[in-house]
Amino acid sequence: TDGQLIPLSEVLSSIDKSTHLVRLVSHEPPTVKVLTHLEDQLAKLERKAEQKAKKNRGGTVVSKEVRLSWLTSDADYDHKVAAARKELEKGDTRVDFSFSPKRGVRAPTKWEMNEQMDKVIAAFQDVSTEWKNRTVERGIAKVYLQSTVKAAKVLPTKEELEEQAKRLLEKRER
């Protein structure tokens, strides 16, 4: 209190150990913090949630592939584009679009191929960029997009953490 040093024995004798505990904050100078059991449990849960969020998607980029034919129907195309958009909007994602010809059907011209690839890139311009050059080989083309959105850490709210801490303390008291 007020920057005065108090012996640990005095601190321990002045608190109710059934409701409070003492945590060492630093060794030099020796500093302790008096916490309620709930505050201590809450701090533990916050640290655990931070570590879990960091581990789950900490900088890893998820790769997905979408396969289209040069003559993909509008409904199928719309469905696949919507699914790819959903992935790119999550963040930290790469989506590779693979265009291939159907058997027995005339392969598209280079101009038609570029037009189709440009159409896909334009559809995702707001959430992605090309991270690798396009490739075209024997009628098969690939477009490589990477999300420009950073994945948000999903952390529990303060209320959720408090509720969880209370449940754990109640369980411990039983």
- Residue 168: pLDDT over 70: yes
For residue 91, what is the DSSP state?
S
pLDDT tens for 63-93 read 899 999 888 888 898 999 999 999 888 888 8
- Could you tell me if residue 170 is inside a domain? no
Residues 43 and 80 in one domain: no
Residues 84 and 52 in one domain: no
Residues 28 and 100 in one domain: no
- Could you tell me if residue 157 is inside a domain? no
Residues 19 and 96 in one domain: no
Residues 72 and 141 in one domain: yes
Q: Using H for helix, E for strand and C for coil, what is the string for 103-150?
A: CCCCCCCHHHHHHHHHHHHHHCCCCEEEEEEEEEECCEEEEEEEECCC
Q: The domain that contains 141 carries what CATH number?
A: 3.30.110.10
pLDDT tens for 36-66 read 888 888 888 888 877 776 666 556 778 899 9
d(CA 79, CA 120): 13
pLDDT at 2: 66
- Residue 23: pLDDT over 80: yes
- Asked if residues 149 and 88 have their Cβ atoms less than 8 Å apart, the reply is yes
Q: How many domains does the chain have?
A: 2
Residues 29 and 69 in one domain: no
Residues 79 and 45 in one domain: no
- Could you tell me if residue 162 is inside a domain? no
pLDDT tens for 121-141 read 999 999 888 988 988 888 889
Domain of residue 13, residue span: 1-58
d(CA 84, CA 143): 13
- Residue 97: pLDDT over 90: yes
For residue 157, what is the DSSP state?
-
0.85 cut: is pTM over it? no
